[in-house]
């Protein structure tokens, strides 16, 4: 397990200052959300920025994942729009260009994966029609990713087409691939009441490429700082250690960018002893 941080919770920091702050705070992984100012394809000198990020991560011994979850990068008026399921082929192509760009960034950085969400089902589509379009787009993306040796993972996100682990399972029944993996958000498992967590971790352990973590209250999709929700984290990390997950666990606090520096430091102080205790306990068993 490597403690990481999701950059959607530090958008008010600059790219390099933000990454240096994480490294200096003890983090060994970062989920880079490709967005305005964070390796966006529209940013000035983005190619050199990617190379500089690569060097910075290497110098600090940090891993990364690339998160294709920018809210308003493709459309300034509508969040997370367009998706791969839109009626207009040009809108679908816009999303595909962004996703393929994120794959390219992941390949250059040697990222653990490129993580994405399904997006919200467009009006006028049945669930089955939307799934068919998502499968078609994902197949194209995975072929592109395979040529670049990049793993693609999907994050079940409340409010989107693939909103639960159950829906992710249904997607795999339509289209499964060794390169199609899972981004497991611990807080979403509690929010969606898909418990017990230990059973879900055991079921999906061979598919998990990336994890997000925060506190949360059951049934309420709002990411909270640790100890402000209902999650019992010692049991969470015991369960993660039991399935021998070795990737990044990224703190996901998108609503706390205004006090990101405090959240970065307090989250690390909270998580580090819990993870070390869980690792030690697992080794003793």
CATH of the domain at 190: 3.20.20.150
Residue 279 has pLDDT above 80, yes or no: yes
**In this model, does residue 285 exceed pLDDT 80?**
no
Q: Rounded mean pLDDT of 107-130? A: 97
Rounded mean pLDDT of the chain? 96
List, for residues 56-70, the tens digit of each pLDDT value.
Answer: 999 999 999 999 998
Task: Indicate whether 133 pLDDT > 90.
Answer: yes
**Mean pLDDT on 102-112:** 98
- The answer to whether residue 147 scores a pLDDT higher than 90 is yes
| pLDDT score recorded for residue 281 | 87
Q: Is the pLDDT of residue 32 over 80?
A: yes
Ramachandran quadrant class, 6 (left: phi over 0; alpha: psi -120 to 50; beta: rest): beta
Residues facing residue 224 across a β-bridge: 215
**pLDDT per position as a tens digit, 202-228:** 999 999 999 999 999 988 999 999 999
Number of structural domains (the chain) is: 1
Residue 181 structural domain: 2-284
- Confidence band for 175, pLDDT divided at 50, 70 and 90: confident
CA 143 to chain centre: 21
Res. 236: pLDDT tops 80:
yes
pLDDT value at residue 177: 87
Q: Which residue has the tokens 């705070």?
A: 25
Distance, C-alpha 185 to centroid of its chain: 8
pLDDT at 256 over 80: yes
């Amino acid at each position: 397990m490597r403690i990481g941080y999701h950059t959607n919770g530090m958008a008010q920091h600059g790219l390099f200052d933000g990454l240096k702050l994480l490294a200096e705070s003890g983090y060994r992984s970062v989920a880079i959300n490709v967005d305005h100012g964070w390796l966006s394809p529209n940013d000035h000198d983005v190619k050199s920025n990617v190379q500089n990020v690569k060097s910075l991560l290497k110098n600090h011994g940090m891993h990364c994942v690339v998160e294709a979850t920018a809210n308003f990068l493709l459309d300034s008026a509508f969040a997370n729009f367009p998706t791969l399921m839109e009626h207009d082929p040009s809108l679908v192509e816009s999303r595909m260009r962004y996703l393929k760009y994120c794959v390219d960034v992941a390949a250059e950085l040697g990222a653990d994966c490129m993580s994405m969400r399904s997006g919200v089902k467009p009006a006028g589509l049945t669930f089955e029609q939307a799934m068919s379009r998502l499968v078609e787009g994902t197949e194209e993306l995975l072929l592109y990713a395979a040529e670049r040796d990049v793993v693609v993972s999907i994050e079940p996100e409340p409010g989107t087409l693939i909103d639960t682990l159950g829906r992710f399972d249904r997607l795999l029944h339509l289209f499964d691939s060794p390169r199609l993996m899972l981004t497991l958000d611990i807080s979403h498992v509690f929010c969606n009441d898909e418990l017990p967590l230990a059973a879900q971790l055991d079921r999906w352990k061979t598919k998990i490429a990336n994890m997000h973590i925060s506190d949360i209250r059951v049934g309420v999709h709002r990411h909270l700082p640790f100890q402000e929700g209902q999650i019992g984290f010692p049991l969470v990390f015991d369960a993660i250690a039991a399935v021998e997950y070795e990737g990044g666990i990224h703190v996901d606090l998108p609503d706390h960018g205004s006090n990101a520096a405090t959240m970065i430091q307090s989250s690390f102080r909270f998580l580090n002893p819990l993870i070390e205790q869980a690792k030690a306990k697992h080794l003793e068993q």
